[in-house]
């Protein structure tokens, strides 16, 4: 393999400088594809499309066509930076200050993508005849609707008959320090919109009306005060959070005819989205008819019990950092919710304390350490040492 080794810091900077706020790509997929092509990967840009949603550029890059197949999954899209003037440095300039790389996507998750690319480079230089396959599944749709990204690439692979034996997702799983947490499952997430229909009228004559605001408040009070479960061995308790209440009534002397609320439920493996919906209806039905409940499922809960893959990643992390990661299922959703249907999956990346925040930062030393962890993961998976 010709050329200098991949520097994970330099590659992170190049990716961060792409303003790839979902659904924009701004060249991020191209930079990564060009880099991987130079390492001998066969790279394909796959366009994910769904009517009514933005097209998304994805990358499937694979080295080798036989033997055991290890996949790294991640995303180059990022959330908006917020108030740019409130950052210590331009969020897309990728400046390094006092040993920290600053930029949107530094930890979530362009830094991890760069670290794995550098790790693959090191591994292939050391073991060119390792006898297996390494791939990267990279999407630009993880922070958005997630309908034109990873799930579309997996559909293409299914149709081709391409099989993945294990997948590591590079989400920023660590809570405090590198090496403290591996995700082995995720809670499900489902959004509900509750619309209550009443009878409008004058506030001085409530007997002639049916106040939709009063009814929705009573329903929400019942939902917010009900406990769904107490959690179990692998998951924390399921939770319902009210995210929005909208009346849309500019007049103080008018009884509203309609009220709407949005809710998000994060649920463990004691539930499915269907049973969550039934539970919500059971809570609000005592308050009468005259409402609509719409549901949008982000993902079902799943658990990959601490497997040989998770143990392998834990062994590599402990060898580099000196600490043994905990196996957890907390946090939000990730594209692992799609991947677990295809192969064993675990999640391990950088420290997530600054993700989605102003001044998102990663320690330069952590990028080097994560590269070493990922390299050892590959060595252990392919049993070359």
Confidence of residue 145 (pLDDT cuts 50, 70, 90): confident
pLDDT of residue 1: 62
For 44-60, write each residue's pLDDT tens digit: 999 999 999 999 999 99
Q: Per-residue pLDDT averaged across 322-345, rounded?
A: 92
Q: pLDDT at residue 42 above 90?
A: yes
Residue 37 designated active-site: no
Record: fold of 8-186+301-382: Aminopeptidase (3.40.630)
Catalytic residue among 108, 141, 142, 269: 142
Q: Per-residue pLDDT averaged across 165-176, rounded?
A: 97
Min mean pLDDT across 31-40, 229-238, 304-313, 333-342 is at 304-313
Q: Per-residue pLDDT averaged across 341-361, rounded?
A: 96
As a whole number, the mean pLDDT across the chain is: 96
Q: Per-residue pLDDT averaged across 8-37, rounded?
A: 98
Q: pLDDT at residue 206 above 70?
A: yes
Scanning the structure block, which residue is given the tokens 């790294």?
72
Q: Do the domains 8-186+301-382 and 188-299 sit in the same CATH topology, yes or no?
A: no
For 100-134, write each residue's pLDDT tens digit: 999 999 999 999 999 999 999 999 999 999 999 99
Q: pLDDT at residue 306 above 80?
A: no
Q: pLDDT at residue 250 above 80?
A: yes
Q: What does the domain layout of the chain look like in residue ranges?
A: 8-186+301-382, 188-299
Q: pLDDT at residue 371 above 80?
A: yes
Residue 142 designated active-site: yes
Q: Per-residue pLDDT averaged across 157-174, rounded?
A: 97
Catalytic residue among 77, 141, 143, 269: 77
Which of 383, 362, 384, 382 shows the shortest CA–CA distance to 170?
362
pLDDT of residue 109: 97
pLDDT of residue 330: 86
Record: fold of 188-299: Alpha-Beta Plaits (3.30.70)
DSSP characters for 184-239?
A: -EE-EEEEEEEEEE-B-EETT-GGG-B-HHHHHHHHHHHHHH-------SS-PPPE
In this structure, are residues 262 and 193 in contact, taking their beta carbons and an 8 Å threshold? yes
N-terminal to C-terminal alpha carbon distance within the chain: 20
């Amino acid at each position: 393999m010709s050329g200098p080794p991949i520097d994970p810091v330099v590659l992170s900077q190049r990716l961060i400088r792409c303003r790839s706020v979902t659904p924009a790509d701004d060249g991020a997929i191209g930079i990564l594809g060009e880099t991987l092509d130079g390492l001998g990967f066969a790279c394909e840009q796959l366009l994910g499309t769904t009517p009514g949603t933005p097209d998304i550029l994805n990358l499937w890059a694979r080295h080798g066509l036989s033997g055991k197949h290890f996949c790294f999954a991640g995303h180059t899209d990022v959330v908006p930076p917020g108030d740019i003037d409130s950052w210590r440095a331009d969020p897309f300039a990728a400046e390094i200050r006092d040993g920290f790389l600053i930029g949107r996507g530094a930890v979530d998750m362009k830094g991890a993508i760069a670290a794995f690319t550098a790790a693959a480079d090191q591994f292939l230089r050391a073991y060119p005849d390792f006898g297996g396959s390494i791939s990267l599944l990279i999407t630009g749709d993880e922070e958005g609707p997630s309908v034109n990204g990873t799930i579309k690439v997996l559909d293409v692979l299914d149709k081709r008959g391409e099989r993945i034996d294990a997948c590591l997702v590079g989400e920023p799983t660590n809570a405090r320090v590198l090496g403290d947490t591996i995700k082995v499952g995720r809670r499900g997430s489902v959004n509900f919109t509750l619309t209550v229909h009443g009878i409008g009228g004058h506030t001085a004559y409530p007997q002639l009306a049916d106040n939709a605001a009063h009814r929705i408040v009573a329903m929400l009070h019942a939902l917010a005060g009900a406990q769904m479960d107490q959690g179990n061995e692998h998951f924390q308790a399921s939770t319902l959070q009210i995210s929005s209440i909208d009346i849309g009534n500019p007049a103080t002397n008018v009884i509203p005819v309609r009220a709407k609320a949005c809710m998000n439920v994060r649920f463990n493996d004691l539930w499915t989205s269907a049973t969550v919906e039934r539970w919500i209806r059971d809570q609000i039905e005592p308050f009468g008819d005259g409402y609509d409940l719409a549901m949008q499922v982000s993902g079902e809960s799943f658990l990959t019990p601490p497997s040989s893959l998770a143990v392998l990643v834990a062994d590599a992390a402990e060898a580099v950092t000196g600490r043994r990661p905990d196996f957890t299922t907390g946090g939000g959703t990730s594209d692992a919710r799609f991947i677990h249907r295809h192969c064993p999956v675990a999640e391990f990346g950088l420290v997530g304390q600054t993700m989605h925040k102003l001044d998102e930062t990663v320690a330069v030393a952590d990028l080097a350490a994560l590269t070493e962890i990922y390299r050892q993961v590959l060595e252990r998976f392919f049993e070359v040492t």
